[in-house]
Structure 1
């Protein structure tokens, strides 16, 4: 089975792209322009009666179905828009598009067919939007990204107490600095021990030979000659005197091959292994490359080219520092090998010996090594998720989350504005707890996972094949998952949720299509399992701001909007974000203040930042 894409506009009009199923023999990957008009065709077995195309979070039913004896042909024709132009399936899409089709037979049994991905090239406008969003994320830096990511759904594997990669690198650099200082005195007075060592030396005739020396001579008679002078002879045998040209004698030698020095070497080897591992993780994170860099049409851009530039901007400095750390460790290891050689390394947690404790430089190294075993491992989930983004809508979701997080911290902690790191758990001046949560999952009450949260998805009906039917509570999709939730918890009072959903779309669609949809899904579909009070106090669709559009569009008339004298709850609105580094023209900060006040948050009025910046 394969999915055909028929191009209906532009310079490639008439061309057909065939996408095979994932798992079957794949033809070379394909590409499309975001503004090409495309008609899709799928030829399936005759038992299937309906088909739905899935692209990102969009579900599109087939517009035309043709039945013959052995097959069913499903066609998705481009729709005519209000301006009479044909709809472009991939408009505002950028990056890797993964298409799947959900097929349903007469018995309502469903099967999903996944097809090979194709790359979508973006026009200059969308490419600039991506550049603006990535530039903003790069300005946040490692610590800020890390601290805000801790409570996200994607960060579920985050370990308590784990550090950011940059924090781990800083600790490594600090440890190297300390060791470099300690080694100066350690090299001048290393811990050693005098041990006997047998050496073969040129004989003078005055040596006192012990049993081992005589044994060696018996095994090496070629160095022995007969002499007449008893004063020159080393030994007498059968009334004859003999002298050796060479003799093996015990000599005391200073040896550094001791436990304390093996620990010092082991620490450097451990640090080298850690630095190599960190550098490998930096280089491995998000290595993306367009398969069509040579075929790219003029005026279009590849998402992966921009993401790689972002990676270089975000991680380039850390990679250089990591390389320098490795070079410094190699120099220290070379110096150790030369000055204090050992035959073995101690790579386990060391035991502080009396000799090491008595010498300050060794004691310092041992303590650093012991403390190293107590460190937290770096958490790479931030980079893994940010650099695994393959489409512009997903990037916009991350951008929106971090913008909201930064603004929220500036509102509730205005005296700490610009300080890093910022957090996802805050308190207002009355002690109420405000949590910023990314993609929380609220399950239907009878689902086995519903106890994961205090809140449930209360929807009980679903529209299926044009009919209203009971909604299954045990399906993997028996939940709702908004992009961003600000939870306000008050002591002895009901909690409130401020829900924001990011949609990379036009302002008109954000208001007319997505705001009603999300109002039904989240405002009326999320409740507290223990009471019937209103939980969601506001629903906001966040979208890129248009050229000449108002940033904030309320569903309610002015007096009853969040800006009015009698704001109603739940409030409904769409909010446009300015994607560039200069964000003065959007009203995110002001809108969040109004939403927080509506939820009962006490904002420090005397420390508030200006609502409008001139």
Structure 2
């Protein structure tokens, strides 16, 4: 059995510190470790959460084997993220090894929270050794991270389906939408029933009057019929002799008897009708559906063990969905209790023929119409394809997606309709048509309009995150930067100006006409900063074009500064 110890370090401001279990490291800190083992490690790897990396033997000290991260393996990883390793690594002296080792800014754009570092046997996939640290960020805190994920989740298919954000119709036409649609349906139906109609079932009920026969203690007030006498003839042992003074006497063969019990014949008012059985049946149907979804989610959530960033986001989203399910289920239990009290039934059903009585009462008709809608649309696979977070494994990618939704929200605020035109390989929209009173603009995500061409670098075409193509041929360029404003001001303005204002042009060679170049970044509060001097910025009397600036986004509240900037540019363009 191999015995080993993982020694982890961080370096910031040219100072190196040892890390212990659970210690914190900032995403911009340089990180390194060495593995000390009493034997050859063999075929193993290091998994830093979702990043599998090779290790290489560095040296041997006092019969101990010393391993460090393999530089080529790190280079492959940084290249896959379109980062140059030279910009994210430095060789620093390690006092405990008495020599230099490589440190890496491995956690740039890494999600805040726990990071597990695991030594894995490649043959058995078993964990040999584990170490955990906590990654934090000066760009975003836990509250902002929570609101960011919550905001993106609010833009999932359930909202798009409900409000037709990017669709022509709100009907659940595919399995990706159906489960979300059905949950939203349950939520809205239960809330509306509880608020508007439930109380009506306590006083305005569909009832029937029917004969009720039961064996009761005999008195002269008990209603009897021929069936009562037939029952008595067959149960003579219930008779006993009595006197003429007995008010409950009956005469049989000139002898006086009084029965202890008799079969009564009463008229009873009952709510055990087909209409009420349907009401109960529908509520039970919804509860069974929610239980099925809950079981499915609880099973699926086990698979999201926070091994990948996408997995962590889905884990977070599933937990929120389970809370939502719990709230709906609690309301269903209250509704069922109320119905059991006021319109009890002996059985439940979803079968129905005659609906005349249902249509005569508003509260019954409301439930019945919702039942029809449910039965027409309920066929769904009980699993969630969270394409919402598909393809995301870094914080900057999460932020980009949130910015995409914010831009659509801004146009929706300006009364534009949004229609999806195309998707990328992950099934996420990459071209949106924005429509208002015959005016058509287009929003592009990670692609550029066909009429434009852009210069290339080693990693491919240089293109902004978002392109807004206005109907008259002008453009708004927007880039999402998961950075602090200070870094954007110092480094990004010149680079983005060169890349996008000078590196993009028309294929025909005509003049490229951008109205603005904006950078979106995470902010505790909404803020805006312009590259131009105040007398020439977008809000001045003499704005210079293209307007260049940065807008900080807070995902907890409405982004008024972004909305107003887009509104201003559209007004200038018209």
Maintained 8 Å contact 2:115/2:135: no
2:441 to 428, 434, 443: 434
SS at match of 2:348: coil
2:81 to 52, 57, 66: 57
Whether 1:43 aligns to 2:68 is no
Maintained 8 Å contact 2:432/2:444: yes
Whether 1:254 aligns to 2:269 is yes
Equivalent residue for 2:468? 486
TM-score by length of 2: 0.54
Which aligned pairs between 1:367-406 and structure 2 lie closer than 5 A? Answer: 367=369, 369-370=371-372, 385=388, 392-406=395-409
Tell me: CA distance 1:399–1:134, structure 2 relative to 1, closer, same or farther (3 Å): farther
C-alpha displacement of 1:262: 0.8
Tell me: CA distance 1:361–1:33, structure 2 relative to 1, closer, same or farther (3 Å): closer
2:25 to 27, 32, 35: 32
C-alpha displacement of 1:336: 3.1
C-alpha displacement of 1:537: 6.7
Measure, in 1, the Cα distance between the counterparts of 2:397 and 2:412.
Answer: 23
Deviations 1:362-386 (A, max 9, x none): 4455345445656899999999958
Which aligned pairs between 1:123-522 and structure 2 lie closer than 5 A? Answer: 125-127=138-140, 131=143, 146=159, 150-151=165-166, 159=177, 169-180=187-198, 182-187=200-205, 190-202=206-218, 213=231, 216-217=234-235, 221=237, 223-224=238-239, 244-270=259-285, 323=327, 330-347=333-350, 350-358=352-360, 362-363=364-365, 365-367=367-369, 369-370=371-372, 385=388, 392-409=395-412, 425-427=433-435, 431-438=438-445, 483-488=465-470, 500-505=478-483, 506-507=487-488, 508-511=490-493
SS at match of 1:177: helix
Whether 1:542 aligns to 2:519 is yes
Measure, in 1, the Cα distance between the counterparts of 2:55 and 2:494.
Answer: 34
Maintained 8 Å contact 2:517/2:549: yes
C-alpha displacement of 1:259: 0.5
CA RMSD of aligned residues (A): 7.0
Maintained 8 Å contact 1:510/1:543: no
Q: How many residues were matched structurally?
A: 468
SS at match of 2:29: coil
Unaligned runs of 5+ in 1: 18-27, 66-74, 79-86, 101-114, 292-303, 414-422, 443-452, 464-470, 472-478, 568-572, 595-602, 609-614
Measure, in 2, the Cα distance between the counterparts of 1:387 and 1:15.
Answer: 35
Unaligned runs of 5+ in 2: 35-53, 59-69, 92-99, 118-128, 168-173, 307-311, 417-430
C-alpha displacement of 1:503: 2.4
Maintained 8 Å contact 2:186/2:286: no
Equivalent residue for 2:135? 121
Maintained 8 Å contact 1:234/1:244: no
Maintained 8 Å contact 2:528/2:552: no
Measure, in 2, the Cα distance between the counterparts of 1:586 and 1:376.
Answer: 41
1:578 to 539, 543, 552: 552
Tell me: CA distance 1:385–1:545, structure 2 relative to 1, closer, same or farther (3 Å): closer
Measure, in 1, the Cα distance between the counterparts of 2:226 and 2:187.
Answer: 59
SS at match of 1:436: strand
Measure, in 2, the Cα distance between the counterparts of 1:563 and 1:131.
Answer: 36
Deviations 1:122-163 (A, max 9, x none): 35x4345x75686689899968994599559xxx97649976
SS at match of 1:345: coil
C-alpha displacement of 1:353: 2.5
Deviations 1:535-576 (A, max 9, x none): 99769573539999963489xxx9xxx9757x7xxxxx9742
C-alpha displacement of 1:438: 4.4
Maintained 8 Å contact 2:518/2:549: yes
Measure, in 1, the Cα distance between the counterparts of 2:198 and 2:55.
Answer: 69
TM-score by length of 1: 0.51
Maintained 8 Å contact 1:286/1:388: no
Measure, in 1, the Cα distance between the counterparts of 2:366 and 2:522.
Answer: 57
Maintained 8 Å contact 1:268/1:329: yes
Equivalent residue for 2:423? none
SS at match of 1:265: helix
Maintained 8 Å contact 1:425/1:434: yes
SS at match of 1:186: coil
Which aligned pairs between 1:74-89 and structure 2 lie closer than 5 A? Answer: 77-78=102-103, 88-89=105-106
SS at match of 2:339: helix
Tell me: CA distance 1:131–1:211, structure 2 relative to 1, closer, same or farther (3 Å): closer
